[in-house]
Amino acid sequence: MRHRWRTQAGVAAETAASVAEPTTEEATVSGDDQGEEDVGSGGDPEHLIIEDEFLDSAEELREHFDSRFAEPRQIRMDRFVWDYWHVPNQYTLIRTPAEDFFPRTLYESLEDALLSYGENKLGCRSISPVWLSYYVDGCSQELHADNPHGPWAFVLSLTDWERRRFSGGETMILQPHVLDYWRGFEARRGMELEDLVTQVEPDFNRLTVFDPRLPHGVRPVRGTQDPREARLVLHGWFTEPTPFFTGALEEHEAVASLNAALEPLFEEVATFSPSTGTTTVRLTISGSTGAVTDLEWLTDTLIEVPGGDEPGAVRDQVQRTIVRHLGGATFPTSDKGDTYLTMPFVFD
C-alpha cells in the first residue's frame, strides 16, 4: 500500500509552516484597502462536508464488488482477500485494501477523483491508502478519533441504501458543542441522541468528509449476513496539506513573493491565543498586475483552545490577518493569464 500524491514541485519549506483553515465563501481583496467587514469565512467552523453523486465510476465499482460474490459456492483465489477486523468493544468489520481489490484502471479513476477533490476543495495533496469495507450483522465502530492520520477523513458509500435490508450503518459524528459541554450548559434543557450526535446516512455515491478529531463511529448493523446487502464503503484520509499553484505562474516564480507575505503573517499569528484546526484559502492572482484579486475560503475547522478567548475571537483574528497579508501580496506578472494558489494553514 502507498500514499499517493500528484507530482508537483514543493513550495519552500517556510511556506508550509503550521498555522490554520475555512468554508466556501469568497471575498474580493485589494491589499491594504480591504475593509474590516466580511473578510472571514463566515459562520461557525465547518467540520462536515457532504458531496452527493461524487464519482462517475461508482456504479462500476459496485458491479465489480457484486460480481466477486455472485457465486458463493465457487472457489476463486480473488475471494480470499478479506480481513475480519475485530477489536473488542471498538471495531468489527470486514476490510481489504481497495487498490488490491479493484482492477487497476477502475481503482485509478477512484484515486484520481479523490486526489482532485482533496487538492481543489481541501488543500490536501495526498490521500492515505483507501480501504474497502463491508458491514454485515454485528459490525460497527464505536466512537473514536483519528487525530494523527490527516486533517480530513472521508467515507465514500457504495451501499444500496434505498433498498437496504438492515438497520444501522449510519456514520456517527459527535457534535462540536459536546466537546465544550459546560460552556453552553442549560440546566432546564434535556438532550437526546440527535442533540449530541450527527448521523449521516451512507447514500449510494455519497462522499462524507469530516474533521477526524471529532469522535465518530458507525452505528451497529443488524439484519443481513450477505455481503451484497451490506453497508459497503470506501474510506481513508486526506493528507499532506500543502500550498500549490495552478495556472500561469510556476511555483519557483511565485514562491519568493509568497514567502514575503507569509513571514509577517506567521509572526503576527504567533502572538494570538492558542487555536487548533485547519484553514484553507485559494487566491486568484492577476496575470496583468500580479495583485491578488480574489480570496476564497475553502475549509475551516479552526477553534480556540479551551481556556482561551471567547469562541470565535481568535478565529476572527486569524482570518483577518490572512486576508490582510495574503490579500496585499504582489506576485510576478504573466502574459499567460491568471494564477491560482491554494494555501492551507494548520494549527496544532
- Domain ranges for the chain, please list them: 11-44+243-347, 48-241
- Of the candidates 264, 211, 296, the one whose C-alpha atom is nearest the C-alpha of residue 22 is 296
Judge whether residue 25 has pLDDT over 50: no
pLDDT top residue among 345 and 310: 345
Name the nearest CA neighbour of 284 among 33, 74, 84, 27. Answer: 27
Residue 89 DSSP symbol: T
Give pLDDT, residue 55: 98
What Rg value do the Cα atoms of the chain yield, rounded? Answer: 22
309 confidence band (pLDDT: 50, 70, 90): low
**Can you give the pLDDT at residue 42?**
57
Q: What is the mean pLDDT of residues 114-138?
A: 96
Query: Can you give the pTM of this predicted structure?
Result: 0.86
* CATH code for the part of the protein at 48-241: 2.60.120.620
**What single-letter DSSP state applies at residue 205?**
T
CA 275 to chain centre: 19
Report which of 66, 94, 93, 71 is spatially closest to residue 81, judged by C-alpha positions.
94
Residue with cell 459524528: 173
C-beta of residue 92 within 8 angstroms of C-beta of residue 140: yes
Residue pair 310/284 in contact (Cβ under 8 Å)? The answer is no
Q: How far apart are CA 72 and CA 32, in angstroms?
A: 68
**333: Cβ contacts below 8 Å, ≥ 6 apart:** 286, 287, 288, 289, 290
CB 255 within 8 A of CB 9: no
User: What stretches of 42-144 adopt beta strand conformation (E)?
Assistant: 48-51, 83-87, 91-97, 124-127, 131-135, 140-144
Q: Is the pLDDT of residue 335 over 90?
A: yes
Condensed to tens digits (0 to 9), the pLDDT of residues 141-176 reads 999 998 878 999 999 999 999 999 999 999 999 999
Q: What is the pLDDT of residue 38?
A: 52
Nearest to 61 by CA among 5, 10, 110, 15: 110
What was the pLDDT predicted at 122?
Answer: 93
pLDDT band at 39 (very low <50, low <70, confident <90, very high): low
The cell numbers describing 287, all together, are 496575470
Confidence grade of residue 41 (pLDDT, cut at 50, 70, 90):
low
- pLDDT tops 70 at residue 2: no
Confidence of residue 11 (pLDDT cuts 50, 70, 90): very low
Question: CA–CA distance from 211 to each of 107, 179, 301, 329 (Å)?
Answer: 25, 13, 7, 30
Q: CA-CA distance, 304 to 317, in Å (whole number)?
A: 11
Question: Rounded mean pLDDT of 226-253?
Answer: 95
- Residue among 287, 261, 238, 279 nearest 25 (CA): 279
Mean pLDDT for the chain?
87
Q: What is the pLDDT of residue 310?
A: 65
pLDDT at 266: 95
